[in-house]
Structure 1
Amino acid sequence: MIIERMYAHVASQEDEEWPWNVPCVRGLLADGLRFTAPVTFLVGENGSGKSTLIEALAEGFGLDSWGGSHDWRYASHRPKSVLGERMRFDAAPRGRRMLGSWSARKGFFLRAETALDALDREGFAPDFVSHGEGFLAAFRGKFLEPGLYVMDEPEAALSFASCLELLGHIDQLTKAGGQVICATHSPLLTALPGADIIEVGEHGMRRVAWDELTLVDHWRRYLADPQSYLRHILD
């Protein structure tokens, strides 16, 4: 493990402003968020705040909010988000060494919407490949060293088979000492054995088992009987 807990503090007068009024952020302010496994998935509906948490985590660790690796500052002139600049960590010994020295810091922040641009600016993205193949090239070439790897919806560009390949990369990375924290809508990714799953929503944050996830229940129901859903939205 690298990061064992993240937390933040704000002045009381800021409590009613965004992002402090988002339920999961309120939970972060009250109790922090503990990481108990090498892989943690944050799952929730659009707008639940999971990407806000993920971006702030990356910024707090020193990864650029635009996306990229520990040794590339794509937009260093950009100020941190109001949550990112207040982010603090309880770290394991390896994490403390990384936080104490920029040269020792290792990791990558992958954002679905900016991943290929960030990779291209690092001189890494291959030419003449699909969006999904470019993502996989990042996993093969950049997710190597033990470090903190933060991902925001990596499944966006990936097929079913490519998601399975990503799980293989994550498994190898964590066995080598890396830590992965990922926001996702994917029931495939969250099925990774041993992963910690945190469901984000109006309730704030709570740990759940894979087969208790709302998204897993919806996918099961939809695949079993698509019309039970489609009849409500199609004429």
Structure 2
Amino acid sequence: MIIERAYAHLDADSREEERWPWSVPCVRGLLADGLRFTAPVTFLVGENGSGKSTLVEALAEGFGLDPYGGSHDWQYASHRPKSALGERIRFDAAPRGRRMLGSWAARKGFFLRAETALDALDREGFAPHAVSHGEGFLAAFRDKFLHPGLYVMDEPEAALSFASCLELIGHLNELVKNGAQVICATHSPLLTALPGADIVEVGEHGMRRVAWSELALVDHWRRYLADPRSYLRHVLD
């Protein structure tokens, strides 16, 4: 573990609380209570628009990773400014992470966002365009996700097949065995089934920890696979 808690504060006299992103329930939860990390892998799950991508991008920015995506070696190479939330994110270090959080030069990690991942890898001298989209993702996991550090991901399953998602689970497991910490926003019931992972569900309620078997996305997939017509009739009829 590298970080134990993330939090943010607004100035006492700030009038920003009703504006985005401060109006997003999970961000309000971050302001009120912070987000504790209790396992080496944390999955953030929720519907589109719930704020999970906003949250993971800000966590990456707060750690010093480029919001466009990429490794610690390419901080702000895209010249994208930090988000308002990313500027205010702070961390409480875990014992093993104190040196890393105490020095910008010591911070190691990678921010992978689905829509910019291949461009970010190409920028760093990796050549993912020589293979398929999904193969490029997996090659990045093999070649870039190796060392202790903070690895933040936004929907990495977007380019992956069922089998490739299973391979990614194996990569994540090896990564944390080597001393890394992973924070991942996802819609995947496959990824969230990683044993020992912490799952935080975000939505109108803010943030809450949920067991895999109790996730709404797991329930919906089970029911859809058992009887697709029960869902499709609402779309097709």
The TM-score by the shorter chain falls in which range? Answer: over 0.9
Matching residue of 2:3? 3
Q: C-alpha displacement at 1:156, in angstroms?
A: 0.1
CA, structure 1 residues 196+25, in 2 after alignment: closer, same or farther (shift >3 Å)? same
Select which of 135, 138, 153 maps to 1:136: 138
Q: C-alpha displacement at 1:93, in angstroms?
A: 2.9
Matching residue of 2:226? 224
Q: Pairwise CA RMSD of aligned residues?
A: 1.0
The runs of 4+ residues in structure 1 deviating greater than 4 Å are: none
Deviation string 1:155-206 (CA, Å, 9 cap, x unpaired) is 0000000000000000001011000000000000000000000000000000
> 1-side partners of 2:19 and 2:231: how far apart?
36
Deviation string 1:126-153 (CA, Å, 9 cap, x unpaired) is 3421000000011000000010000000
Q: C-alpha displacement at 1:101, in angstroms?
A: 1.9
User: SS of the residue aligned with 1:64?
Assistant: coil
Matching residue of 1:97? 99
Matching residue of 2:84? 82
The answer to whether the 8 A contact 2:68-2:78 is kept is: no
| 1:53 has 2:55 as partner | yes
Unaligned ranges ≥5, structure 1:
none
The answer to whether the 8 A contact 2:109-2:151 is kept is: yes
The answer to whether the 8 A contact 1:125-1:137 is kept is: no
User: SS of the residue aligned with 1:231?
Assistant: helix
**Normalized against structure 2, the TM-score is what?**
0.97
> 1-side partners of 2:129 and 2:230: how far apart?
43
Percent of paired sites with the same residue: 87
The answer to whether the 8 A contact 1:68-1:74 is kept is: no
Unaligned ranges ≥5, structure 2:
none
Q: C-alpha displacement at 1:99, in angstroms?
A: 2.0
**Normalized against structure 1, the TM-score is what?**
0.98
Select which of 148, 167, 170 maps to 1:165: 167
